[in-house]
Structure 1
């Protein structure tokens, strides 16, 4: 076949440009149609929500910041007093400025500020829940991984179990166990642990399924059993990434433990809910400030630990 035989079948440059412009115009049309459908759905949803709302959303919109104005402290120095349980000059015997009464005395005159103690409880809930979840999620993830599961039926069953555990938000599980076990940190620990097992299990088995199987082939060749293959072939390879996910989940659990406090899970969340509902401006700002500082500190600490586990080279851009 010569070049002359091929040329009649080749499109000219003008035909290629025309086809390209036609395709681009079609894609733009489809995009505009999709955006129009989304806009229509959004407007319809907002109108339906506005009509279903007893107060009517758009009519109440000008009052959006009224509630926030109630939480502005009259004396900004009371924020620091509330944070460190220092007596306020505005204390007239009510609950809004009774900062010094919340002190948690440790020994004689030495005390831990109330909000710091509550924050420690919240962090303890997150840490304990994450550790327990890691202990259970690790073996379950190997049973759910396609390349290490002893049988297909077991793998499917374990996957469905982990999906069930993470299907319900922590606050829903905490509300259920609070009704059974009464209000306190125990319900929060159970709720966060169950959800974390399902979440970590999924992340873990995805890492395991992408592991290099050459070392596993070597273990099989020397007659190693399933436990020996997991312990000596897979675990050393995937453990740094698994620990990275554990630390990431710890950050999430600190936030989750705070939210769970709103349904009686103990910790700083419960006090924050009460403070907001009663309109105690100084206490609310102090709690939000402490929570923000704690979240930033946990994020930075976990990022530093992940770098030490995974290695700085994993965070460098490869050119």
Structure 2
């Protein structure tokens, strides 16, 4: 092989390197340009908001964290007293330290602390909403799956229905139903359920569209109807992923039910809102601590359960 034979190869390699360097330079330019535009838009928006805000954003910026000083308890032992409804030595008859007044007595002297009872209500709202939404989202997902439903109008209607259900935030739906049904957990359950049906339905039908169609085609060949094909060919394949997504949604719904409580949905969110607005430091810290521990516990439990249902191999990196 002569030098002339290798020259085209060397020239081709040089062209590729030049093209790659140009592409990298172009991407860097677009990235820097995008960041400049984003920063300019952000600065302009903040200035507009500052001019439109009667309180003047920049003037009040040094006081951004002043409210934290209002929520720092003078006696940190009151945080534990508030959490377990133990009478406080600082109780002077007001609402700030009347911890033992909120006890929920079960039998005799046995009681459940008020905040634990509210947390149970919040978890129940999330749990019921997730279960009901799961029951409705499963059949809707099969109706929306392209590979399982041949009827185009039915697929389009089902997808648009699920899009409509998840189009509005839970807090908006809860506010609407609170006005109709009055304040309480029922409005929160309806709001979270509707939104969860739309969210889970989308995740479910995307899973259903990626199943192995051979069992489905085999059952169709021997005369099985649509329901039988879905029940015995599609559902066993998708059920582990459906359960995993439902557990993930349960974690989200626990947080959502807490937020909805602030607009009259009951549970711990309503009490947290009142405690913050009144500047009750010990009660606020107790609620935040309980909420944090509960969410971590729910996250860890659902993650463990997903691993048990889906299989440990699904969470391992493939080499």
Q: Same fold (TM over 0.5)?
A: yes
Q: Compute the displacement of 1:298 (Å).
A: 0.3
Residue equivalent to 2:220: 220
List per-residue Cα deviations over 1:115-143 (Å, max 9, x = no partner): 00000000000000100001110000000
Residue equivalent to 1:60: 60
Provide the aligned length of Structure 1 versus Structure 2: 317
**Structure 1 unmatched ranges of 5 or more:** none
List per-residue Cα deviations over 1:88-121 (Å, max 9, x = no partner): 0000000000000000000111100000000000
Q: Compute the displacement of 1:46 (Å).
A: 1.3
Q: Compute the displacement of 1:32 (Å).
A: 2.0
Change (3 A) 1:29 1:89: same
Q: Compute the displacement of 1:22 (Å).
A: 3.2
Is 1:97 aligned to 2:97, yes or no? yes
Q: Compute the displacement of 1:34 (Å).
A: 1.8
Contact 1:211 1:237 in 2 (8 A): yes
SS of the equivalent of 1:149 reads coil
Residue equivalent to 1:208: 208
Q: Compute the displacement of 1:20 (Å).
A: 3.6
**Structure 2 unmatched ranges of 5 or more:** none
List per-residue Cα deviations over 1:15-65 (Å, max 9, x = no partner): 444444333333322222222111211111111111111111111111011
Residue equivalent to 1:230: 230
Aligned equivalents of 1:289, 1:160: Cα separation in 2: 40
Residue equivalent to 2:192: 192
Aligned equivalents of 2:318, 2:9: Cα separation in 1: 43
Aligned equivalents of 2:13, 2:133: Cα separation in 1: 61
Residue equivalent to 1:261: 261
TM-score norm. by structure 1 comes to 0.95
Segment drifting more, 264-273 vs 13-22 = 13-22
Change (3 A) 1:40 1:311: same
Contact 1:91 1:98 in 2 (8 A): yes
Contact 1:143 1:150 in 2 (8 A): no
Residue equivalent to 2:182: 182
Aligned equivalents of 1:285, 1:133: Cα separation in 2: 33
TM-score norm. by structure 2 comes to 0.95
Instruction: Give the alignment's Cα RMSD to 1 decimal.
Output: 1.8
Q: How does 1:1-319 map to 2 (within 5 A)?
A: 11=11, 13-319=13-319
Contact 1:208 1:238 in 2 (8 A): yes
Aligned equivalents of 2:51, 2:180: Cα separation in 1: 38
Segment drifting more, 6-15 vs 120-129 = 6-15
